Amino acid sequence: METGTNVIKGGRIIRTSKNLRAMRDYARVSPVVRIESCDIGNPDPAYGCRHNGTVRVIYADGAESRANFASYHIMIDWIRNRRTWRNAQHVMQGPDVGYLTKPGIIAGGIAA
- pLDDT tens digits along 63-84: 999 888 887 778 888 888 888 8
DSSP 90: E
Cα separation, 78 vs 110, whole angstroms? 20
77-93: average pLDDT: 82
Beta-strand relationship, 53-59 and 64-69: antiparallel
Residue 19 main-chain phi, psi, to 5 deg = -135, -150
Whole-prediction pTM: 0.73
pLDDT at 24 exceeding the cut of 80 = yes
Cα separation, 23 vs 15, whole angstroms? 8
- Enclosing domain of residue 100: 5-110
Residues of the chain above pLDDT 70, percent: 67
Cα separation, 65 vs 31, whole angstroms? 13
CB atoms within 10 A of CB 28: 8
The band of 36, judged by pLDDT with boundaries at 50, 70 and 90, is confident
Q: Give the pLDDT confidence score for residue 112 in this predicted structure.
A: 44
Q: Which of 2-6, 53-57, 61-65 holds the top average pLDDT? A: 61-65
Q: How many domains does the chain have?
A: 1
Q: Give the pLDDT confidence score for residue 54 in this predicted structure.
A: 83
> Residues 45, 51, 53, 57: what is their CA dihedral angle, to the nearest 10 degrees?
-70
